[in-house]
Chains A and B, each alone.
Chain A
């Protein structure tokens, strides 16, 4: 059966494959945001800080469909059965990653709303930890989807 990649149904009816596609957006945006923030911090550049903020904003927004499609895959593809092993670890780490991305975004948002308050330095280790956990979650996701495996 041939599939037309430009047929809207192939996008909308892809079921949990959408999770696998959408996950790349927050990973890329958040990693770029953290890189901009670190460079902005060391170069004391407001432009890089702004770039970090907008990347974080988009990462935080794009997390919503990613979490939704991941939970939908659990609900529909696996019919909500009790998860274990790698799938459970992926779910837990995914939730922690999402919370950390939202936390980092909230820290930046709060500072942006109150320009007199500088960005706290403690955000930097949180961002580093978040990148690490996002990477680990993505690694497990890659294994589960078969991208990192022999298949």
Chain B
């Protein structure tokens, strides 16, 4: 009797442990996916940072203008285009297809960046 109770307790502990591990893995995966879903590019000092970004399909990239000067975010291939962004204004775009998306600031064409979607 005592033996069977011990086995039951052991199995229950094992089951709870496995369940907890599974939940933890799910939480970690969800958290990682959430992290991948939104990424920020800062516009500062007349440059995009990071200049090149590699993201999975479905990621939303948000550009934030931290500069004192207005900037724009315009895709070279005309896939996306922002309004003029004043200081602290944001622009977001969700990349639903894989590919390379070069972009630039149409006010300062030497400011360039690239988003690689895999």
Contact = CB atoms under 8 A, between A and B. Distances in A.
Interface residues on B, range: 10 to 19
Contacts of A149: 46, 67-69
Contacts of B108: 145-146, 151
B68 to A, nearest CB: 7
A143 B84 contact: no
A77 B81 CA distance: 11
Contacts, number: 42
Given A84-B84, A85-B86, A87-B84, A143 B107 contact: no
Interface string B65-84: 00111101000000001011
Judged by DSSP, the binding face of B is loop
A145 B69 CA distance: 9
A8 interface: no
Given A77-B107, A86-B70, A146 B46 contact: yes
A150 B81 CA distance: 25
A15 interface: yes
A86 B84 CA distance: 11
Interface of B: 45-47, 67-70, 72, 81, 83-84, 86, 106-109
The 5 closest A-B pairs by CB, nearest first: A151-B46, A77-B106, A85-B86, A146-B46, A150-B45
